[in-house]
Amino acid sequence: MRVIVNDANVGPWLEQDATLAEDGIEIVLTDPVGAQAMLADADAYVGIYFPDELRTATSERFAFLQVTAAGVDHIDLDALAPSVTVANAYGHERSIAEHVLMVSLVLRRRLFAADRALRDGRWASRLVDPAAPSFTTLREAKVGIVGWGHIAQEIARTVRGFGASVAAVTRTPARAEEADLAEWIGGYDDIERLAAESDILVLACPLVERTHHIVDDAVLSELGSTGIVVNVARGAVVDDAALYRALASGSILGAAIDVWDVPAGTAPVSTQPLAELDNIVMTPHYSATATDTYRVRAGQVADNLRRVHRGEQPSTLVKAGVR
């Protein structure tokens, strides 16, 4: 089984796994240009992206596409041959949950403002200035999560460890797993209720038609002046224009955005002047990029490759191929 790997983070872990070769799986680590040239003689491909130029470079022997991310909304699944099996990968839940915790604390404690003030010679602390902004801990804070997959559940476990309570909305609330982690789990139509009851609103949902701009003016209004938004889902689940209005007017306390509705590496990341505001934390889709994310993810990919090579389905199946 010949596997073309176009992922500079996961690839080296696979390349170092000598047991793959022992199992009859050849790992060929390359870049996008090399991948296009090699796919005609490949059985499988491993990478985050699979654009048309790579898809059309494959031959009839191509049988397995392993996406090295959880989301596959950027892959044209309908364009793939019916015979191609597709899997995704996880391992990033802990890293993203820690990111959500970090930015939530930063925003609620107004950390950047306190840092800037002290650099300017001012103690923005109630120890010295009773008029300085106050903040509360996460004990008894209410965290609302949009989505209830692997990432959302890990976020719930993490914030509950600090004494916060959790509620959530998801596409299929009746089938929600680990429901005991939340006080209640509703459908997407309950988004305004979720915002109204939350101190922190976290987006951890897939981008589908229903979640496009699910956070809009109405949702932000319900969140209120002490609430914060954290987006680790997809850029388009939040209406940037509505977010800018809410942040600039102070109708919400702050926001932390890690995902953007532009291709990775593009600047600026928004048509709105979000970078001019001091109550937003802007990060370049890096919440998941801990070293251990890639180590765990490579282990999942290696397991899937072995399963497919044996004629079995991958453990993280997205689309089953029919041959």
Question: Do 142 and 175 belong together in one domain?
Answer: yes
For the segment 295-313, the average pLDDT, to the nearest whole number, is 97
Structure tokens at 190: 């309950």
pLDDT at 304 over 80: yes
Write the pLDDT tens digit of every residue in 258-290.
999 999 899 999 999 999 999 999 999 999 999
Question: Do 100 and 225 belong together in one domain?
Answer: yes
Instruction: State residue 322's pLDDT score.
Output: 86
Question: Do 78 and 106 belong together in one domain?
Answer: no
Question: Do 143 and 277 belong together in one domain?
Answer: yes
- Distance set, CA 205 to CA 118, 202, 237, 261, 274 (Å): 38, 9, 8, 15, 22
Instruction: State residue 323's pLDDT score.
Output: 72
> Which residue, 176, 273, 274, 183, is CA-closest to 229?
274
- Distance set, CA 245 to CA 55, 60, 287 (Å): 41, 52, 25
Question: Do 149 and 212 belong together in one domain?
Answer: yes
Question: Do 27 and 123 belong together in one domain?
Answer: no
How far does the chain reach from its first CA to its final CA, in angstroms?
Answer: 16
Question: Do 134 and 199 belong together in one domain?
Answer: yes
CATH code at position 85: 3.40.50.720
pLDDT at 320 over 80: yes
pLDDT band at 190 (very low <50, low <70, confident <90, very high): very high
Question: Do 174 and 124 belong together in one domain?
Answer: yes
Percent of the chain with pLDDT over 90: 97
H helix or E strand, kind and range, residue 103: helix 93-108
Instruction: State residue 257's pLDDT score.
Output: 98
Q: Is the dihedral of CA 60, 63, 67, 73 positive or negative?
A: positive
The count of domains in the chain is 2
Peptide bond into 82 cis (omega under 30): no
* Buried-state track 297-307, b at ≥16 Cβ within 10 A, e below 16: bbbbbbebbbb
Question: Do 75 and 202 belong together in one domain?
Answer: no
**Structural domain that includes position 221:** 93-282
Cα–Cα dist 129/138, whole Å? 23
> How buried is residue 172: exposed, middle or buried, by Cβ count under 10 Å (0-12/13-18/19+)?
exposed
Structure tokens at 277: 């505001």
Instruction: State residue 214's pLDDT score.
Output: 98
Question: Do 111 and 162 belong together in one domain?
Answer: yes
User: Which pTM does this prediction carry?
Assistant: 0.91
Decide: 181 and 167 in contact? Cβ < 8 Å: no
Instruction: State residue 170's pLDDT score.
Output: 98
Question: Do 126 and 224 belong together in one domain?
Answer: yes
Number of residues that make up the chain: 323
Question: Do 216 and 192 belong together in one domain?
Answer: yes
